[in-house]
C-alpha cells in the first residue's frame, strides 16, 4: 500500500479498524449464539451434577413450631 502513496499511519489505522470490526462482529455473533445454546449446555450440566428432574418437590420454610409439625408429618406417614 505504501507503493500507491498511503502513509504508514493510514495503513495502521486501516488494519486496526479492520480487526476491531472483525472482533466486534465475532463478539456479537458469539453472544447471539450463546443465547440459543445456553439452555442445552446448562441442562446437561444440571443433569450430570445432580439437579435433574425429580418426582419429589420439597418446599422449605422457617417455622416456630417445627417439632409439632414434624411429629404431625411422621404420624401421617
Domain around 71: 2-76
Query: Which pLDDT score, from 0 to 100, does residue 18 have?
Result: 97
Query: Which pLDDT score, from 0 to 100, does residue 48 have?
Result: 73
Cα distances (angstroms) measured from residue 59 to each of 28, 56, 62, 63: 40, 10, 10, 12
Q: Which residue has the higher pLDDT, 12 or 40?
A: 12
How many distinct structural domains can be found in the chain? 1
The tens digit of pLDDT for each residue in 36-56 reads 888 878 877 777 776 556 667
The tens digit of pLDDT for each residue in 64-75 reads 777 888 888 889
Look over the chain and give the mean of its residue pLDDT values, rounded to a whole number: 83
CA angle, 46 then 51 then 54, to 5°: 130
Go through 45-71 and write b for each residue having 16 or more CB atoms within 10 A of its CB, e for each that does not.
Answer: eeeeeeeeeeeeeeeeeeeeeeeeeee
Cite the DSSP H helix spans in 1-77.
8-49, 66-76
Amino acid at each position: 500500500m505504501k507503493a500507491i502513496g498511503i502513509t504508514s499511519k493510514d495503513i495502521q489505522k486501516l488494519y486496526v479498524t479492520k480487526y476491531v470490526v472483525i472482533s466486534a462482529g465475532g463478539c456479537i455473533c458469539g453472544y447471539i449464539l450463546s443465547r440459543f445454546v445456553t439452555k442445552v449446555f446448562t441442562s446437561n450440566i444440571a443433569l450430570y451434577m445432580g439437579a435433574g428432574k425429580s418426582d419429589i418437590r420439597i418446599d422449605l420454610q422457617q417455622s416456630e413450631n417445627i417439632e409439632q409439625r414434624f411429629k404431625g408429618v411422621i404420624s401421617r406417614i
